[in-house]
Amino acid sequence: MLEYCTAGESHGKGLVTIITGLPAGLQVDTGDINHQLAQRQKGYGRGGRMSIEQDRIEILSGVRGKKTIGSPVSFFIVNKDYPNWSNVMDAEHNTPGERAVQRPRPGHADLPGAIKYHHRDMRNILERASARETASRVAAGAFFSQLLACFDMVLYSQVVSIGSIACLPVTPDKKSRKDLVQSIEASPLRCADSQKTREMMDLIDGAKARGESLGGSFEVAALGVPPGLGSHISWDRRLDALLAGLIMSIPAIKGVEIGPGIDNSTRPGSEVHDEIFYTPELGLYRKTNRAGGIEGGISNGETITVRAFMKPIPTLYKPLTSVNTSTWEEEKADIERSDICAVAPASLVGEAMLAYGIARAFMEKFSGDHIDEIQRNYCTYRDYMKKVWKWEKT
């Protein structure tokens, strides 16, 4: 099974990631991985930390001469901020009580984490709950995207709303996806609509001036996914459930929909379900994709689209009421250097988690130890789809 895990504290020495189950023979492009990491660092409304870091991966194992060899792939991302924190974060020698956190931030992991893990200093919680960890996910996601690209699957992500300002998501095909990605990467908020981007930036400026924070939503999508990933046969094999769980695992994501799932719930069935057509030239096809590419927990060959809704950042520069847990007196919550709005970087984390989900389901169906073996399995399936099911699309 394709799996990965991450380790590392926000102000520790760095982040370690281990991926198991990648096939041998996969061409690895570290330039592309570092590009995705650089994109995650951007975003209007981010805090000062991102100007200190310059995330790049150092591959430690599993890759030789730019190709995977089948063993676990591990890599390191250094925290450049660590020297400023070594007296607080060093594994052997630190100054007790230095930068201790005892006024938990409402909406963050501080209080429930401290109760659960028996910590009086909530720094032991926030260091790991911090979204710094998502740099690992974005880098791992780039490996998975490179695997998917070998089978003509490509992904993109775009910001759809910040606070109350929303735009319509753009739905590209494989040809126009590159242009969309270019315009998204040129936007300070990863939003394809430049007018709305300006309005969103003004909204963030206003929130910053008031000591407030903002949430929003983004869409992630995968094009070229073949029909047949996931399964209806058991709850734990459904692709929609897997993807929703993965997207929901991103810090601060509190809602997920597959396709326009929430809007669909307000409409009659005739306006929601995607009718099925056939011509000898096109084979089987749909004119709409309101199911978001998944029916019965199985990919149906249309673009898979997932939308995620993010709550406002919990650290407020005008902090909410909390309790000092060393005196039990009412005080304002602690402030830790923070983003005002992080929907743009979260969208890249969403893209990484979607890449992982699709790659995991793909490997489950077409598994092999070498990329060529998977190619053979996939080609056989595509021939079958074409002959038996008149499926022409890739």
Ligand X SMILES: Cc1cc2nc3c(=O)[nH]c(=O)nc-3n(C[C@H](O)[C@H](O)[C@H](O)COP(=O)(O)O)c2cc1C
Interface ranges with ligand X (CB under 6 A) = 47, 108-109, 129-131, 134, 250-252, 311, 313-315, 338-339, 342, 345-346, 349
The nearest distance, CB 311 to ligand X, in angstroms, is: 6
Please return the burial class of 51, using the count of CB atoms within 10 Å of its CB with bins 0-12, 13-18 and 19+. Answer: exposed
Looking at beta carbons only, is 301 or 314 nearer to ligand X?
A: 314
Least Å distance, CB 253 to ligand X, is: 7
How far is 65 from 18, CA to CA, in rounded Å? 19
Task: Work out how close the CB of 3 gets to ligand X at its nearest, in angstroms, rounded to a whole number.
Answer: 21
DSSP 118: T
Q: What is the length of the chain?
A: 394
Pick between residue 40 and residue 177 the one whose CB is nearest to ligand X. 40
Q: How far is the CB of 342 from ligand X (least distance, A)?
A: 3
Taking phi over 0 as left and psi of -120 to 50 as alpha, with beta for the rest, 47 belongs to: beta
Residue with tokens 């792939």: 73
> Cβ–Cβ contacts within 10 Å for residue 286, how many?
16
9 vs 302, beta carbon nearer ligand X: 9
Please report how close the Cβ of residue 147 comes to ligand X at its closest, in angstroms: 24
Q: Are 194 and 170 in contact (CB under 8 A)?
A: no
- For the residues of 50-97, what is the DSSP string, one character each? HHH-----EEEESEETTEE-SSPEEEEEE-TTGGGTHHHH-SS---TT
Nearest residue (CB) to ligand X, 290 versus 311? 311
What CA–CA distance (Å, rounded) separates 251 from 357? Answer: 17
Lookup: tokens for 152: 């003509």
Give the nearer residue to ligand X in terms of CB position, either 108 or 190. Answer: 108
Is the CB of 25 or the CB of 45 nearer to ligand X?
45
Shorter beta-carbon distance to ligand X: residue 209 or 320: 320
Cα(86)–Cα(109) distance, integer angstroms: 23
Secondary structure (3-state) at 48: coil
Shortest Å, Cβ 317 to ligand X: 11
Compute the least distance from the CB of residue 176 to ligand X, in Å: 27
Cα radius of gyration rounded to whole Å, the chain: 22
Residue 185 structure tokens: 């990467």
Residue appearing with tokens 């951007």: 42
The gap between the terminal CA atoms of the chain, to the nearest Å, is 25
Q: Which is nearer to ligand X, 157 or 299 (CB)?
A: 157
Angle at 81 between CA 78 and CA 85, to 5 degrees: 115
Contact, 56 vs 66, CB < 8 A? no
Instruction: Please state the closest distance from residue 207 (CB atom) to ligand X, in A.
Output: 13
| Cβ at position 119, least distance to ligand X in Å | 15
